[in-house]
Every structure is written in C-alpha cells, then in structure tokens.
Amino acid sequence: MNANQESLIVAAYAKFPVPQGAKLSYGTSGFRADALILESTVFRVGILAALRSLKTQSVIGLMITASHNQVSDNGVKVADPSGGMLTQGWEPFADAIANAATPEELVKLIGEFVKKENISFDGPKQAEILLGRDTRPSGESLLEAAKQGINSIAGSLATDMGLVTTPQLHWIVRARNKGLKATELDYFEQLSSSFRCLIDLIPNGSKSGETGDKLIVDSANGVGAEKLENLKKMLDSLVIEVRNSGEGILNEGVGADYVQKEKVVPEGFGPTDVGIRCASLDGDADRLVYFYVPSDTGNKIVLVDGDKILTLFAIFVKEQLSILDSDDSYHPRLGVVQTAYANGASTDYIKQLGLQVVFTATGVKHLHEEAEKYDIGIYFEANGHGTILFSESFLSWLEIRNSDLSSKSKGSEQQKAALRLLAVSKLINQAVGDALSCLLLVEAILQHMGWSIQKWNELYQDLPSRQLKVKVADRTAVTTANAETVAVKPPGIQEVINAEIAKYPRGRSFIRPSGTEDVIRVYAEASTQEAADSLANSVAKLVDKYLGLGLGGSG
C-alpha cells in the first residue's frame, strides 16, 4: 500500500472517528447497532468491501439494514462474490478495523491485512461495489459513509442500487459475478416466470383443492411492500393483498419477527381475516412466516413458521426426486439443515420422511455452508430465514436428464418432475434467504398439493416452546458446543440446566450468547405450554444466577 493510498484513508478517516465507548463486532450477519453510532463502522466496511473486491476480482455487495430490528437501529453487511455472506475468515479483520481508535492504527491494520492477503491495487480489475439500503431514515447518511470508505480505496467504483431488499442485492451480486442478467427487473422476471412454470405444471385437479384464492401479506412497513407490489403485477394466478406497506412504524407490532415471537396478529389484521392465508415479511424481506387467524375472538394466531416452510419444501423436492428416480447412474443427495431452535416435532417429522437432518450453530452463514455439501440442501431457521441450494453438478445432470426425457418421453411425469426442479432452482434465491422468492414457492407448492394453510399446518403438531433473554455484562462469558446445544462455560451451568430439563416430559432447553447484544438467549420446549414456560423461566434464573445483572429474563 503506497503513501498516496494511505493518505486517502487518513483524509477520509477524519470525518468518521469511532464514537467514544463504542465497541462493535461483526455478528451472525454483519454489524448492527443504534444508527447514531454506526457511521464510522459503515465507513470502514466500505473500505473492507473494496479490498474484498480487489482480492476476489469480483463485484461485492454492501447492504445497509438492521433487518427485523427497531427503526432506530441500523446495520451493514457484506455480500461475497457468490452472493452469500462475507467469508468468515475476514470477520476478525472487520472487527479490528471497526474499532481502530486512530487513523494511524487503521492504516496499519489495513496495510498488514493487504500484505497478508496479497491484495494488489494494480490488478486487471478495480474494486466494484453495489450498495443497497432498506427504508430506515438513517440509511441515506450511512450509505454516504459507505461510499466515502469505498472511495478512499483508489479507483474503486460504488454503484448505488437505491432501495432494495437484502435478498435482491445478494441475488444481483451473484448474477453479476456469473455473467447473467442482473438488474432488479431481471430479478422480478426470473421469479415470476419460474412461478408461472410451476403453476403450469400442476397436475390436473390440484387447482380445485382447498388452497384458497387470496393471500394477505404483512410487509412490516418495510422495503418488501413496494417490491411485492411490483412483483404481483407480473403474476396472474395469485391474488395478493399487501398490508403494512409503510403507513406505520417499521417492525413495530408488525413483521415476521414480531409474529413469530409473539404469536399474535400484527397491526392491521383482525377478526375479518379469520381462516384466510396470511404471511409476514420482516423489515428487509429476508424472513417469511405464515399464519392464520383461527377465530374472531382475541388476537391469537396459528403460526406456520420456518420449520413448516422447510418441511413443505422438503416434501415437494423429495416427491419430484422420487418421480425422477429411474436413472440408476446418479442418486442426488438431499439434506436438511436446522439449528437447535428448530422445533423438535419438525425434526422428528423430517426424519420420518427418510431425510438426513444435520444441525449447525445459529446464523445463516453456518446453515448455508452446511447445505452446500449436498446436491440439494434445504435450510431454514424457525424465524423464517432459509432457502434451497442446488449444486452445479446436480443442475447439469438435471438439464441433461430433461433433454433426454424431452426427446424420448416428452410430457411424461418424469419430464415434468425435471422441469419442476429446474423451475424451483430459478425461483428460489440461492444466494440467501429471500421472503419474496420463498413466498412464491410456498404458494406454488400449496396449489400443486391442493392444500389449504390449515392442512399444511396439520403435517405435525409443534411442541410448545418459549424463548427468553437474560441481560448480562458480557455475553462472551457463555461458550457453547454441539451446534450450541451444550454450554461449555461458565463451568457447571450445563449440569444444572440438565437437572431442570429432566423434570419435564419431552423437555429440551439450551442457552446461547446473542450475536448482536449483551444478552443470553434461552430456548425451552416441553409437552405443554405451561411446562415450556416454566422450564424457560427456570433456566433464565440459572443464567441470571451464574452471570446475569440481576435483571431476570424478558421475552
């Protein structure tokens, strides 16, 4: 790194000093905090994104969002060349530069990292970064901070994509680096055409099932509202009513996180919606859950969460593979990836389907990495974040198989199954979890099966569960193993948790440090809601006793 480059960074640094007392870390999906203290961090992530682009000689994405967090928060995450999350090997560098207290320290850290990673500033391609943001008022100033960081790396190009969902930005980055059409319109056209293909391939008679004509979507007063309105204009076989499209406060009493955690109707829903199929997105449209209102009394809902979406996808994909399975030369591996937050009943059901289930630590980056090991890997968190990954070798085989079937038995059930899987691979966002693409796939499969949301929900009955969090001085005091199901530190805590679990039929509980705030998260499930609540409260008290601030648990 030459003197001119160093001086560019130092000059830009003066506008973005680290706020006193702030210490941020790259969590499960980037930096996230109160928007008022984030400018310096976003500036530095702009530098990181430019360096990542130089290292990979690829287009990189930078998204300004705090997803399902309250509107006063914001955050920043990086999309790698594949469209996936930033490689975990660069996270320690992100932490280090975010907290560099002086321009000299920042330049030193960058210089050492550039040397270690053998990053050239004179390569054949200069850095190119695509920038996106959600609808938060703080997004514009933070986007400007990101641009300043990118521009402090000589020759870098920052392209503002405007208001986009997080999954759209990831999709566009992936498509750009594959040399494919990669505008927002291309995204909409690929999703809508793949959806139409699946609808056209529905077996005769299925359309007359109980699916229901109308879908009502709670858009969390976020960026997904506008994008869904644009998308639905391109769909003629699906009636969508969009609510919470910006008239209220982002993520406040609305959205996938609220609906999944509280299990009550979001703002704008009520007795007139009884029995109708409903769905909720989160603030940046990367999470999706479904629900329905069971009666016109009270505000309770029946939640159809990410576990049920995963199960629906697994049933459909397995069905298509079984129709195709007459070619003994190749047997694709289908795997399902979950976290410890997955309801135990969902895991049992998926295993009964004869599918392999593996567990990872919480966080999409962990699930995504494990799912890539399969020909078809399906992953979902209960919170509604997930997708399906198809290996290049499987897709190549499927294209050949479809071509072969087309010449020998065009219109056969086998060929239709091949076409359905090809359509799914284009409809689903293989870069990252995407509420809009997952929503269309859910709708296509329900129409294919002729299922109502009630019938879908009846696949299995969830074990009652409860999630709490306990405020602590230092969340790193808890470390875990075995996909976060066992607490290794502090010493002795797992043994007392086990003793509590043993008191409850079908009891299960674990604790884990939050990736974004100083709290320890508690999960518990048992045979009844009363038992799950009691177990969660008991474990929260144990956490508080061992390392809490004496503040107890909160929902």
Q: Phi and psi at residue 393, in whole multiples of 5°?
A: -65, -40
Residue 83 labelled as part of a binding site: no
Torsion of CA 460, 282, 182, 151, to 10 degrees: -140
Choose, from 53, 67, 346, 534, the residue flagged as catalytic.
67
The H or E element containing residue 59 is: strand 59-64
- The three-point CA angle 196-434-282 to 5° equals 120
- Are 340 and 485 within 8 A, CB to CB? yes
- Are 306 and 281 within 8 A, CB to CB? no
Find all residues with CB under 8 Å of 193, minimum gap 6, and list them.
426
SS3 state at 379: strand
Residue 512 labelled as part of a binding site: yes
The H or E element containing residue 218 is: strand 214-218
- Amino acid at the residue 174: R
Residue 245 labelled as part of a binding site: no
Residue 514 labelled as part of a binding site: yes
How big is the chain by its Cα radius of gyration, in Å?
24
Residue 286 labelled as part of a binding site: yes
SS3 state at 411: coil
Residue 96 labelled as part of a binding site: no
Residue 515 labelled as part of a binding site: yes
- Are 551 and 470 within 8 A, CB to CB? yes
> Residue 230's beta-bridge partner residues?
none
What sign has the CA pseudo-torsion 245, 273, 215, 280? positive
Residue 381 labelled as part of a binding site: yes
Q: CB-hemisphere CA count at 13 Å for 304?
A: 26
Q: Are strands 334-339 and 376-380 parallel, antiparallel or unpaired?
A: parallel
- Amino acid at the residue 109: L
Verify whether residue 67 is a known catalytic residue: yes
Residue 554 labelled as part of a binding site: no
Convert 234-299 into a string of H (helix), E (strand) and C (coil). Answer: CCCCCEEEEECCCCCCCCCCCCHHHHHHHCECCCCCCHHHECCEEEEECCCCCCEEEEEECCCCCC
Residue 211 labelled as part of a binding site: no
Residue 284 labelled as part of a binding site: yes
Find all residues with CB under 8 Å of 422, minimum gap 6, and list them.
395, 398, 399, 402
Residue 475 labelled as part of a binding site: no
Q: Are strands 508-513 and 519-525 parallel, antiparallel or unpaired?
A: antiparallel
> Residue 521's beta-bridge partner residues?
469, 512
Residue 158 labelled as part of a binding site: no
Catalytic residues: 67
Annotated binding site: 67, 282, 284, 286, 381-383, 512-516, 521
**Per the annotation, where are the binding residues for substrate?**
381-383, 512-516, 521
List, as residue ranges, the binding site for Mg(2+): 67, 282, 284, 286
